Structure 1
Amino acid sequence: MLTGKQKRFLRAEAHHLDPIFQVGKGGVNEAQCEQIRQALNARELLKVRILDNCEDDKKVVAAELVEGTDAELVQLIGLTVVLYKQASKRENRKIELPHA
């Protein structure tokens, strides 16, 4: 569980990032979650864009992404979801979170 201080730090880190995944009309599926999981393991922090034609509510989509990827929800702003998951291998960790 991320603290408020850690979420603020991650929001600042994510500000310059572009979304690398999109959720469209079909919603969230297992293959998409697996791809996002792999990208999170490599990057730790990423953005997902929810397209206008997505039939699900943005909060539902964000919750499905968090559950499907075992990541932390950093921010849901507009139709953009920011996810964070610490890399499993210590040598792959790029982001040093501030202490609570």
Structure 2
Amino acid sequence: MITTKQRAYLRSLANGISPIFQLGKNGIEEPFLKQIRDALEARELIKISVLENSGYGTREASDVICEEIGCEGIQAIGNKIVLFKQSQKNPKIELPKGDK
């Protein structure tokens, strides 16, 4: 679980990146989840665009993906989702220390 300070830091990093996936009419299926897992392992922080024909709301899609993959939903605003998961092999993003 990440703290609010860490979440704010990740949101600031995500501000400059473009969505690399679109969630569309095929919905959230295993091949889509595999692509997200691979992208999170490589990049740690990704942005996804949720299309209207997906059948999911932005927050709902974020919750489903996070539950399936075990990542953190950083932001769900408009039709964009920002996800974070620390890389197991090659961590790149160093989070600030917690609020405690």
Q: TM-score range by the shorter chain?
A: over 0.9
The amino acid across from 1:36 in the alignment is: I
Find the counterpart in structure 1 of residue 97 from structure 2. 99
Instruction: Name structure 2 gaps, 5 residues minimum.
Output: none
1:86 corresponding residue in structure 2: 86
Percentage identity across aligned positions?
Answer: 44
Q: Within 1, Cα distance between the matches of 2:62 and 2:83? A: 9
Instruction: Kindly indicate whether residue 33 of structure 2 is the aligned counterpart of residue 27 of structure 1.
Output: no
Alpha-carbon shift at residue 15 of structure 1 (Å): 0.4
- State the Cα distance separating 1:96 from its structure 2 match: 0.4
CA positional deviation for 1:55: 1.4
**1:21: Cα distance to partner?**
0.7
Query: Which segment is superposed worse, 55-64 or 26-35?
Result: 55-64
Aligned partner letter, 2:75: Q
Structure 1 residues 74-94: Cα deviation after superposition (integer angstroms, max 9, x where no partner): 0001110000000002xx111
Residue 93 of structure 1 aligns to which amino acid in structure 2? P
Give aligned pairs, total: 98
Q: Compute the displacement of 1:68 (Å).
A: 2.0
CA contact (8 A) 1:62 1:76 kept: yes
Q: Deviations over 1:20-75 (max 9, x none)?
A: 01100121111101110011001000001101222122222111111122110000
**Letter matched to residue 99 of structure 1:** K
* RMSD value, Cα: 0.9
Conserved? CA contact 2:58–2:77, under 8 Å: no
Paired with 2:29 and 2:8, the residues of 1 have a C-alpha distance of 29
| 1:4 equivalent in structure 2 | 4
CA distance in 2, matches of 1:69, 1:45: 14
Q: SS state of the match for residue 81, structure 1?
A: strand
* TM-score under structure 2 length normalisation: 0.93
